[in-house]
Amino acid sequence: MAESKGMKWIIGVSGVLAFTGFLYLTQKANSGPGVMAERRLPDPRVAGDQSGVDSGPAYSDAEVFLFETEKLERIQNGPPARKSDRERLLESLNWDDDPDAEMTVPPLTDGIGRKSTGSNLRTRRS
Amino acid sequence: MIHADRLPAIRFRAMGTVIAAAGKDEDIQPYWRMPLYRFFQSTERMASRFLPDSELSRFNRAPMCHPVKLSSRLYEMIRLAWSWSIRTEGLFQPLVGSDLCRLGYDRSFENLEKADPRKSPNRADCGRTAGRDLSNALILDDAERTAVRNSPLHLDLGGIGKGWAADRAAGMLQGSFHVTRGFVDAGGDMRVWSDGEPWLIGIQSPFDEERDLLRLVLREGAVATSNVLHRRWEHEGQPAHHIIDGRTGLPAETDIVQATVLGRSAAEAEVAAKVICMAGSGHLSAWMKKFFPGLGYIAVTRSGSLIINRRVYDYAERLVA
């Protein structure tokens, strides 16, 4: 009987201690300087959002990754001779006096256009 | 250490399409990704006409002629859509939710593709039909943030909502997270900005999605594309698509199959791209000067010809063809 009573006391006291400890820890985490910033920004460890590291799916159905931008030097610094006739035709539009000037360019002879590299940014059909 | 040409990015589905964004900021952690994801998800929950519990669906079901108090975000989106309806003399019309529903577009497009094309939608859920004079169909009160629907027609904010969200998200990334080079692409409605190297943006061919018709070199701006060949389905034996002419309530049928518009705002560019698909090559120049002065456009005709205006060069540094 006395043994059972002692056991109940131990369980009761441990419960109170555990609850007090939990309250202490949660209060500590939510106080002090920089709280607003911590709340505003997600915890990257929880989110799996590590800059520069492809950490896989982070927000349930989202895919985080590194976007590879295309090198522009090649086309930006290329000599004018490298421009296609089609491009030079389009550029002539830019020299028109009328700011609303319009040009109709016939379809490409092969009718298909430039093959996308798949890595650059592209318009999509909405 | 991030390589200069590799930017943290995110891609996910929301608002019935794929949302993608990338950005370079000063922080080691790209903190912007989760807020961006949450913003688009919450915008879909608010403004989708396919979710019965969305705020927009509740507004569409609310009794006519009674003011409905709206959240600030939905009010802003409806106000923007309605202002473009007035400015384009009803060509762009947000009250086409009922028309789209009657044409069978009564669920998100990925579900529509799986649906039986012979089965008609439940027309009672689409709202009643109405005449096409919709000039007083919506009454908005900025002070009270209320909207009154004086027409049985339902609102659809699918297109302009993506443009609005891309604009807001780009502002958030630049203003709150100091992303100095980045893009937000909401299913074809795109905002780009850069403090350094410009972006290279391919204009996808409407006839072959693996091909680019040409490429834009663009440092800052908005690019939106609308296309009548993509979101197409069959309804009661007839082909249908999602670009509805606001004057008729029917899918626009002209010689233009795709329009890409360049401007400062993705929402404005999105509206202009839709209107170009309604204009056809005959009205294109006149309508753009009248309704969207200052925007650049690249329209693709059924034959594959490109119609381009000089304003494109106000935004793009170069067109690589």
A77 neighbors B289 (Cβ within 8 angstroms): no
Instruction: Give residue A37's pLDDT band: very low, low, confident or very high (50, 70, 90).
Output: very low
- What per-residue confidence (pLDDT) applies to B51? 93
Instruction: Give residue A45's pLDDT band: very low, low, confident or very high (50, 70, 90).
Output: very low
- What per-residue confidence (pLDDT) applies to B130? 67
- What per-residue confidence (pLDDT) applies to B233? 75
Indicate the pTM of the whole model.
0.81
How many Å separate Cα A24 from the centre of its chain? 35
Tell me the mean pLDDT per 10 residues along chain B, length 321. Answer: 72 94 83 95 95 95 95 97 96 88 77 62 65 86 96 92 98 95 95 93 90 92 92 77 86 93 98 96 96 97 96 95 84
Q: Which of A10, A11, A121, A20 is nearest to A70 (CA)?
A: A121
At A24, the amino acid letter reads Y
Q: Is B69 helix (H, G, I), strand (E, B) or coil?
A: strand
Domain boundaries, chain B: 50-156
CA distances from B106 to B256, B314, B317 (A): 25, 39, 41
Rounded Cα distance between B301 and B228, Å, is: 11
The residues, ordered by sequence, that sit 6+ positions from B137 with a Cβ below 8 Å of its Cβ are B95, B130, B149, B150, B151, B153
B217 neighbors B198 (Cβ within 8 angstroms): yes
Q: Give the ipTM.
A: 0.82
Rounded Cα distance between B163 and B158, Å, is: 9
Q: Which of B136, B160, B161, B148 is nearest to B59 (CA)?
A: B148
Mean pLDDT throughout A14-36?
Answer: 69
- Supply B152's token pair: 């049985």
Instruction: Give residue A76's pLDDT band: very low, low, confident or very high (50, 70, 90).
Output: low
Instruction: Give residue A44's pLDDT band: very low, low, confident or very high (50, 70, 90).
Output: very low
Which residues of B fall within a CB distance of 8 Å from A98? Answer: 310
Does B313 sit within 8 Å of A93, measured CB to CB? yes
Instruction: Please determine, looking at this structure, whether the domain spanning B50-156 carries the CATH number 1.10.3980.10.
Output: yes
Pairing of strands B199-204, A121-122: parallel
Which residues of B fall within a CB distance of 8 Å from A75? Answer: 200, 217, 318, 320
- What per-residue confidence (pLDDT) applies to B118? 56
Please give, rounded to a whole number of angstroms, the shortest distance from the CA of B256 to a CA of chain A: 13
Least confident of A51-55, A86-90, A108-112, B243-247: A51-55
Which residues of B fall within a CB distance of 8 Å from A66? Answer: 2, 6-9
